[in-house]
Amino acid sequence: MTQGIRYILFATLAFAIMNAMAKELSEFHPLQVVFFRSIGTWIFIFPYMLNHKIPVRGTHVKPLIARGILGVLSLACFFIAVQRIPLGSAISIRYLGPIFGAGLAYYYLKEKVNWIQWLSFAVAFSGVIVLKGFDIRIDFLSLSLLLASAIFVGGVFVLIRYLSNKEHFLTIINYFMMSALLLSVCFVQYWRWPISHEWLPVCGIGMSGLIGQIYMTKAFETEDTSVLAPFKYMELIYAILMGYFLFGESYELLPMIGILLIIGGMLTNVWAKGKVIT
């Protein structure tokens, strides 16, 4: 096992823990959970940027702001849904983000999408239909929120692709964190003070998110994307296990088939993306 694979396995575990903590904080307003997630990362990133003279404002302000806003909307929609339905189901449906990202990149960045990718997208969408059709815990509001979250994630992918060779990656992350902090504070009237047992997830959600971002970055710095991309889906395996052991969530056969179709479709997309197919 390479260093990059070890990094991404640790990163996906950290992100799964972050999402489990978001579900644990279901008694809080979702935008307060967004605040917890953001402040726990920002207080480490911002001083680091100042100390290392990394540009805070950046040079492409409008796309940076758009990336930040889309990221916050995606995270807010996801946190609302994850408080309502099983953790594994929420993460599975949000994994459709690369589909919308590919469609947006095809339109705006003129990136090619081959026919196997389109077929893999159809397989993944069929998995969502199966999952929704046979898991009565997934209501239409939650499904709509997760599809919206996936669409926003797709927009984030395109903007990051556009900004990746123009801005420092911490500048891009900082815009997301600052946007999350500013937008979440607009809902401060719905917040409440944590009580004793809630402090662990309140403090841990930002820290686990930061650890996930650091190790995900280190993974892609040390290994090819084509090698690492399939391992990103380990987050779902971790989430299903955490859902079972922490929240008593289990799946019958048909909903599990739906989840497998989503994973299979997205893994096929990863494989097909780098192929030249006529």
In a domain, 218, yes or no: yes
In a domain, 249, yes or no: yes
> What is the percent of the chain with per-residue pLDDT over 90, rounded to a whole number?
76
Inform me whether the pLDDT recorded for 276 exceeds 60. Answer: no
pLDDT tens digits for range 198-209:
999 999 999 999
- Compute CA 260 distance to the chain's CA centroid, rounded to the nearest angstrom: 18
Domain count, the chain: 1
Q: How far apart are CA 145 and CA 240, in angstroms?
A: 20
pLDDT tens digits for range 6-57:
999 999 999 999 999 999 999 999 999 999 999 999 999 999 999 999 999 9
* Domain boundaries, position 127: 3-273
In a domain, 39, yes or no: yes
Residue 224 burial by Cβ neighbours in a 10 Å radius (0-12, 13-18, 19+): exposed
Look at residue 220 in the predicted model and tell me its pLDDT: 81
Look at residue 33 in the predicted model and tell me its pLDDT: 97
Residue 100 CA: distances (Å) to CA of 6, 20, 118? 28, 25, 11
Inform me whether the pLDDT recorded for 1 exceeds 80. Answer: no
pLDDT tens digits for range 149-188:
999 999 998 998 899 889 999 999 999 999 999 999 999 9
Q: What is the mean pLDDT of the chain?
A: 92
Look at residue 278 in the predicted model and tell me its pLDDT: 44
Q: How far apart are CA 95 and CA 71, in angstroms?
A: 14
In a domain, 165, yes or no: yes
Q: Cα torsion for 45, 50, 52, 54, to the nearest 10°?
A: 80
- Compute CA 164 distance to the chain's CA centroid, rounded to the nearest angstrom: 18
In a domain, 77, yes or no: yes
In a domain, 25, yes or no: yes
3-state SS track over the chain: CCHHHHHHHHHHHHHHHHHHHHHHCCCCCHHHHHHHHHHHHHHHHHHHHHHCCCCCCCCCHHHHHHHHHHHHHHHHHHHHHHCCCCHHHHHHHHCCHHHHHHHHHHHHHCCCCCHHHHHHHHHHHHHHHHHHHHCCCCCHHHHHHHHHHHHHHHHHHHHHHHHCCCCCHHHHHHHHHHHHHHHHHCCHHHCCCCCHHHHHHHHHHHHHHHHHHHHHHHHHHHCCHHHHHHHHHHHHHHHHHHHHHHHCCCCCHHHHHHHHHHHHHHHHHHHHHCCCCC
Q: Which two tokens stand for residue 214?
A: 């650091």
Please give the backbone phi and psi of residue 78, each rounded to the nearest 5 degrees, phi first. -65, -45
Q: Report residue 274's pLDDT band, with 50, 70 and 90 as the boundaries.
A: low
pLDDT tens digits for range 52-104:
999 999 999 999 999 999 999 999 999 999 999 999 999 999 999 988 988 88
In a domain, 235, yes or no: yes
**Count of CA atoms in the C-beta half-sphere (13 A) of 39:** 13
In a domain, 180, yes or no: yes
Question: Comparing 221 with 7, which gets the higher pLDDT?
Answer: 7
